[in-house]
Amino acid sequence: MKFDVENHVYNSKRNVVFGKSGAVATSVPLSSQVGLEILKMGGNAVDAAVATAAASAVVEPVNNGIGGDAYALVWIEEEKKLYGLNSSGFAPEKMTLDNFKGLDEMPKYGLKPVTVPGIPAAWAELNKKFGNLSLMDCLKPAINYAREGFVVSPTVAKIWEKDYKLYKKEFKGEEFEPWFDTFSKNGRAPVAGEIFKCEDQARTLEEIAKTNAESFYRGSIAEKIDAFSKKYDGFIRKSDLEQFYPEWVEPITTDYRGYTVSEIPPNGHGLTVLMALNILKGFDLNGSREDSDNLHKIIESLKLAFADTKTYVTDIKHMKLELEALLNQSYADKRRELIKDKAIQPESGDPYCGGTVYLCSADKDGNMVSYIQSNYMDFGSGIVIPETGIALHNRGNNFSLDPEHHNVVAPLKKPYHTIIPGFLSKDSEAVGAFGVMGKFMQPQGHIQVLSNMIDFGLNPQDALDAPRWQWIKDKEIEVEHEMPINLIYDLAKKGHDVKVIYDNLNMGRGQIIIKNEHGSYACGTESRCDGCVAVY
């Protein structure tokens, strides 16, 4: 990709970081340093991604952990091939619709929304298929952080304090006590600059490394999860864990102005990105990001795509529509006709006729990884398995309780999923890895950074730093206060219900590593958190 490294239209807080032999981009400096350490040990981009992901589970527990889900896009330069890994778990066999009678929506906290976690299996599978180093080598830095302690970074501390106060208010019942035992310190959340340790996590990570994650699914860790779930009337059992294995999947793609954009197929909502791009590419954006007409078209394209995917996306084995129907360009052309000068109320169409931690890595051989893992809603369900440091996610919260909905809860079914890694290529050559985390902000972040780079020529750092918007519902959007005031006024005139926000924690956190024409890596990291790029 060609871009102007001197282009700082938005006075970005950081310059692009360049690397020759390897690069790792994450939201916390400690994690990035782990990835760089692994690369210098002789590990490849996959080893670096696994090590960085494990470290992130320890040093950034407010966004991910051992008990969540993961997805990855892996570019293997020698093969000129992009691999997709779906390591998201399914609903336990006991998670039936009948068990939620009387409720309007799926529970948010507790054992009821806990689905099978996929993160440990993702680490083991990636390491087994592509790694140069052992899984123990890759997890050792994370084990050391957990056992010897790590310094809590500012953004992590801010979220941790917010969660602690919320959980003290919301969590009732002794099943939540292990969370406070594990993730609080002297009756509070740890503060920025403080050292935090978790020996339970260290032992669990060692067992995962020694058994290639078998213990988590078919051994003693699985038995501990089973016992705790039984004790507090949860659904998940060892028999559910025993059935789980990650799936290698074919990435789904679309062409956007000469570039191939790749995402993981459903149950994730990366499809939203591709559908929005299919609508958007029919417009001439004239290269100007500070044009309210262009911004309006991007927002409206995203709204229409989201209306469809929120209706139709679920476990791909249970989808009632073929992906080709949703990705069909003629369908996108029909959807584009709905976009006028004023904001519209988005509704799903009829294609029958036609929400974390994101990281990326790259090595000296040209291999690249776009990787994402999450516990959902910060720490997840609020359930921690005693003496393990495992915070279980609450991904089942995304199931519908409407028996007619495509995404209705059912045993062994994967729920609609919000975490999505992205990858960009051109003419069968890798361009780079990108991602923006943050629940339903993720496809919106993908659209914005892609358009910033491809349509408006911004470099990776400027593409991340540019003021963001987020569609909330109906005609309601939120915009960061850094957005030019004339754009905010113009969007309001076009019928958007605009809310200006000053706390941008919910606007997503992204990372980008791009191969440039000089043969080096150009990297951007998130300025809205403690983002860091490590290169050599």
Catalytic site positions: 356
Smallest CA-to-CA distance from 23 within 55, 48, 59 is with 48
Return the CA Rg of the chain.
22
- Spatial strand order of the sheet with 422-426 comes to 17-19, 521-525, 509-515, 429-437, 422-426, 259-263, 252-256
SS3 38: helix
Query: Which two structure tokens, joined as six digits, stand for 77?
Result: 């330069």
Please report, for residues 88, 113, 134, 140, 454, the alpha-carbon distance to residue 218 in angstroms, rounded to integers and kept in the order given. Answer: 17, 21, 20, 22, 46
Buried-exposed string 165-201: b where 16+ CB fall within 10 A, e elsewhere:
eebeeebeeebbebbeebbeeeeebbeeeeebebebb
Q: Is 101 exposed, middle or buried (0-12, 13-18, 19+ CB in 10 A)?
A: exposed
Chain position carrying tokens 């058994």: 211
Asked if 215 and 206 count as a contact pair (C-beta separation under 8 A), the reply is: no
Amino acid at 235: F
Length of the chain: 536
C-alpha span between 246 and 57 (Å, rounded): 19
Residue 347 corresponds to which tokens in the numbers above? 């509704």
The angle that helices 119-130 and 199-211 make with each other, rounded to 10 degrees, is 40
Write out the two tokens for 443: 């496809």
Question: If residue 139 lies in a helix (H) or strand (E), which one and from where to where?
Answer: helix 135-148
- Would you list the DSSP string of 41-87? TT--HHHHHHHHHHHHHHH-TTT--TBSEEEEEEEETTTTEEEEEEE
Distance CA 214, CA 222 (A): 9
With beta carbons less than 8 A apart as the criterion, state whether 511 and 435 touch.
yes
- On the 0-12 / 13-18 / 19+ scale of CB atoms within 10 A, 60 is buried
CA distances from 315 to 139, 397, 412, 441 (A): 30, 14, 10, 20
Burial of 295 (0-12, 13-18, 19+ CB in 10 A): buried
Contact 361, 81 (CB under 8 A): no
Q: How far apart are CA 310 and CA 304, in angstroms?
A: 10
3-class DSSP assignment, residue 93:
coil
